[in-house]
Amino acid sequence: MKVIFSVKKKSNLSKTNPDSYRKKLTQNGVRINKYIASAGYCSRRAADKLIEAGKVSINSKKAELGSQIFPGDVVRINGKVIEPQKKEDFVYLAFNKPQGIICTANPEVEKNIISYINYPERIFTIGRLDKDSEGLILLTNNGDIFNKIVRAEYEHEKEYVVEVDRPYGKKFLENMAQGVKILDTVTNPAKVEPISATTFKLIITQGLNRQIRRMCKALGYEVVFLQRIRIINISLNELPIGEYRNLSQQELTELFRIIDYKI
């Protein structure tokens, strides 16, 4: 008989219904970081770092955090003009990351994920997967979608297969489901399903640094294998390790519905 340990947590997050950046641009302007994200250059968070570093200009003047962009404005990053993309130009990929590949766009980092994939267009990862783990990672050139997926308050599900170094018991599964104290906090309730004496499935709604490894370690176990098999409604399925595929229109439609995203 299959036993699933689960503790539900009610979310008090209200959904938003954002207009497209084009509509905002013609009305009250759009924030500079959103404009950059809409150009597919990077996420809003990364855009803020570029602005703080003085690498972004608006009409040849240094941009500031929170600056607004209006029709006719010229935005440059490192001197290069950028413009928002059309929705048909957006790319959405699912990649089965091998162990040893690092989720960074920095070309100077050996075995960085962007160089490994070698995609012909500029893309970046949506979230991360640590170097020692393998499995599903999403990539895109749509910076607007980044925050809708990775921000902690949205509590989107991510599913993993976890193997630990020795057999666990019922108490271990209960603790994993109820929450474990790590990094000066207690993890959100999770869903846990045993697979074998040392392997189990885990569904979490957070993305703390090395969260699953830290949770297991806090309970006296070491993770020896960690694979992500699902992000929200996107599943790894039979995608070979080291390869990527485009998300289907059906997957995108359902994903956008769940995260309340409108292009």
Which tens digits make up the pLDDT trace of 183-228?
999 999 999 999 999 999 999 999 899 999 999 999 999 999 999 9
Instruction: Give 4 or 99, the one with higher predicted confidence.
Output: 99
Say which residue the tokens 């000066």 belong to.
184
Measured CA to CA, the distance from residue 183 to residue 127 in angstroms comes to 19
Residue 261's pLDDT band, with cuts at 50, 70 and 90, is confident
pLDDT(46) > 90? no
For residue 31, the tally of other CB atoms under 10 A from its CB is 18
Measured CA to CA, the distance from residue 176 to residue 186 in angstroms comes to 11
pLDDT(115) > 80? yes
The pair of three-digit structure tokens given for residue 104, joined into one six-digit string: 């960074």
The pair of three-digit structure tokens given for residue 198, joined into one six-digit string: 């040392």
Q: What is the mean pLDDT of residues 76-84?
A: 88
Over the Cα atoms of the chain, what is R_g? 20
pLDDT(233) > 60? yes
Which of 2-11, 24-33, 107-116, 139-148 holds the top average pLDDT? 107-116
The SS3 assignment for 216 reads helix
pLDDT(180) > 90? yes
Domains in the chain, CATH or no CATH each: 21-84 (3.10.290.10), 88-152+243-259 (3.30.70.580), 157-231 (3.30.70.1560)
Beta strand 92-97 pairing with 244-246: antiparallel
Terminal C-alpha separation, the chain: 44
pLDDT(69) > 80? yes
Say which residue the tokens 């607004």 belong to.
68
pLDDT(48) > 50? yes
Measured CA to CA, the distance from residue 175 to residue 192 in angstroms comes to 10
pLDDT(77) > 70? yes
H/E segment holding residue 244: strand 244-246
pLDDT tens per residue across span 19-28: 454 444 445 6
DSSP-assigned letter for residue 85:
P
Looking at residue 18, what is its pLDDT?
A: 38
User: What ranges in 53-112 are assigned the alpha helix state H?
Assistant: none
Model confidence pTM above 0.85: no
Residue 156, phi then psi, degrees to nearest 5: -75, 145
The pair of three-digit structure tokens given for residue 258, joined into one six-digit string: 């769940």
Measured CA to CA, the distance from residue 241 to residue 212 in angstroms comes to 21
If phi over 0 gives left and psi between -120 and 50 gives alpha, with beta otherwise, what is residue 60?
Answer: left
Residue 70, phi then psi, degrees to nearest 5: -120, 165
Catalytic residue list? 130
